[in-house]
Structure 1
Amino acid sequence: MATFLTESDYRHLIKGVNLQHLIDEDPLVLDMAETAAIAKVKNYIHQKFDVDAIFSATGTDRDPDIMEHCINIVLYRLHKKAPIMPEDILYDYNNTLAYLEKVAEGKIGLMLPRALEEDMETPRTRFKLTANTKRSH
C-alpha cells in the first residue's frame, strides 16, 4: 500500500469528486496507481538518491517536486482508462518524464538524501577525472 501520497495532495490538481469518479470510488485503484507511479520515479532516481528515505518521509518532510511528479504520473495512469485524455494531463506527464530523465542524467540536481555506497557512509558518485594529453611546444 502506497503511503507517500495522501488524498489531500491531489486537491490542487483535481477535484475530489473527479478523482473519486476516475477510481470508481475504489481506493485500491488509486493505491495501485500510486504504487506504480512511485516505482517509476524510483527507477529514475535510485542511482543517485536514497529512495527509501525519500519515500518514507511524511507530511511536510516530503519533497514537493517528487510529490508533484508522482501525482502527475498517477493522474496520467488514471486517465488512461477514460475515453479522452485531457491535454494538460498528457502535457504534465510528458514534462515529468523529461524532468526525471534529466535528473537521472545528472543535469538537474535535487536537494534529496544521496544514495550511499554499500557498507560505507559516503555518497555514491560516478565521477571520472581525466586530463588531456600533455602537449610539447
Structure 2
Amino acid sequence: MSQFVELRDYDASIHRDILDALVREDEPVIEICEDRAIAEMRCYLSKRYDCDRIFSATGEERNQLVLMMVIDIAVYHIFCIHNPQKLSPMRKDRYERAVEWMKAVAAEEISIEGAPLLPAEERAGNSDFRIESNRKRTNHW
C-alpha cells in the first residue's frame, strides 16, 4: 500500500461521487490501482531516478507532476474495471499521455525537475558510449 497518493488528491482529476460509483465505495480497489500505477511508473523512472525517495514522499514533499501522472494512470485502471467499452476518450488520452511522458523520461529526452536522481554509479546505462541508429525506412518499389 502506497502512502504517496492520498484519497483527496483524486479531487483534482475526478469527482468523488464518480470515483465512489466506479469502485462501489470499495477503497481497497483504489489502493490496488494506485500500487499498479506506481509499479508501472517505476519501470520507466528507475533507470535515472531514486524511485524509493520519489514514492515515499508525503504531503508537500511530493513531486506534483509525478503525482498527476500516477493519478491519471490509476484513474484509467479504475475506469477499465467498470466498463472498458465505455471508457472516456479523455481518460484514454490522459493515460496515453502519461505513458508517452514516461517513455520520454526513460529515453532521457526530458527530465523531472526536483526529482532525486540516482547516484552516478548506480544509474543504468552509465557509459561513455551510447549506440543508436536511425529508424528503419520503409521503401516502396
- TM-score class, shorter-chain normalisation, is 0.7 to 0.9
Aligned residue pairs: how many? Answer: 126
CA distance in 1, matches of 2:127, 2:65: 25
CA distance in 1, matches of 2:111, 2:4: 22
CA distance in 2, matches of 1:10, 1:127: 40
Aligned-pair CA distance for 1:95: 0.4
1:78 aligned residue? 78
Q: Normalised by the size of structure 2, how large is the TM-score?
A: 0.83
1:46 aligned residue? 46
Sequence identity percentage:
26
Task: Please list every run of 5 or more consecutive structure 2 residues that lacks an aligned counterpart in the other structure.
Answer: 131-141
Aligned-pair CA distance for 1:23: 1.1
1:69 aligned residue? 69
**Larger-Rg structure:** 1
1:11 aligned residue? 11
Deviates more, 1:106-115 or 1:95-104: 106-115
Instruction: From the two aligned structures, give the one with the greater helix fraction.
Output: 2
Q: Normalised by the size of structure 1, how large is the TM-score?
A: 0.86
CA distance in 2, matches of 1:126, 1:46: 13
Structural RMSD (CA): 1.6
Q: Note the alpha carbon deviations across 1:57-96, whole angstroms, 9 max, x for none.
A: 0001100010000001001101112331001100000000
Is it true that 1:115 corresponds to 2:122 in the alignment? Answer: no
Of residues 92, 95, 107, the one that matches 2:94 is 92
1:114 and 1:123 in contact (8 A); partners too: no
Structure scoring higher RCO (CA < 8 A, sep ≥ 6) equals 2
Partner SS for 1:81: helix
Aligned-pair CA distance for 1:24: 1.2
